[in-house]
Amino acid sequence: MSKGYLIAHIRVQDKEAFEEFKALSGAAIKSHNGKVLVRNPKPDHREGAAKGLAIVIEFESLEAAQAFYDSEAYSQARAVRERISETDLILVAGL
């Protein structure tokens, strides 16, 4: 079974409130056995409109990534993130 990945570009508008999102999302990631592979606040952006902090999180499967995203714990974090940032986010299966 291939791994599942959450890939996001987050444009933060309130850096102090973003700390709350990081704490909430970090706990949710851990509880779903996710592994943060990339967290870069200033990626080398070359093409496209998806700018901002880049993050890649690995899960055991696409289904596990979907369960994380749909979880109550991440829903709380997502509500904070949606208030204080603009985000492009996808869930994908690895090869």
- Residue spans of the domains in the chain: they are 4-93
Q: Name which residue leads in pLDDT, 1 or 61.
A: 61
Residue 16, pLDDT > 90, answer yes
**CA distance to 13, 25, 85, per residue, from 94 (Å):** 31, 22, 27
Residue 1, pLDDT > 90, answer no
pLDDT digits (tens, 9 = 90+) for 41-57: 999 999 998 899 999 99
Q: What is the pLDDT of residue 40?
A: 95
User: pTM for this structure?
Assistant: 0.94
Residue 42 and residue 61 in contact, taking contact as beta carbons nearer than 8 Å? no
Q: What is the pLDDT of residue 19?
A: 96
> Into which CATH architecture does domain 4-93 fall?
2-Layer Sandwich (3.30)
